[in-house]
Amino acid sequence: MNSEEIHGHISDLVQREQELRSASASEGDAASRAAELRQIEVQLDRFWDLLRQRRARIDAGENPNEAELRSSDEVEGYRQ
């Protein structure tokens, strides 16, 4: 996946996130919306991490295509 494709995927996730956040309480189950929102947030973290990996590889003179999408557990376990 190249950087342009990653950005496109991120844009799609952000659009869905905005749809869910703007949905009124009458538009489906709040618990399922919250669960989907959390899933989207994790996916966004994973794809932003992938972009950061690609940029770091480019800066280091390495092949950005060797960057890999890390697991949710790994990305969500980062210390802030």
**pLDDT tens, residue by residue, 20-32:** 888 776 666 888 8
Structure tokens, 64: 């950005």
Q: Find where tokens 């800066």 sit.
A: 59
pTM: 0.85
Tell me: pLDDT of 80 over 60: no
> What span, in angstroms and rounded, lies between the C-alpha atoms of 70 and 80?
17
Residues across the chain: 80
Q: Minimal CA–CA distance to 44: which of 5, 78, 11, 77?
A: 11
Instruction: Give residue 77's pLDDT.
Output: 82
Looking at the structure of the chain, the number of domains it has is 1
Residue 61's domain comprises 3-76
When comparing pLDDT for 78 and 77, which is higher?
77
Q: How many CB atoms lie within 10 A of CB 78?
A: 9
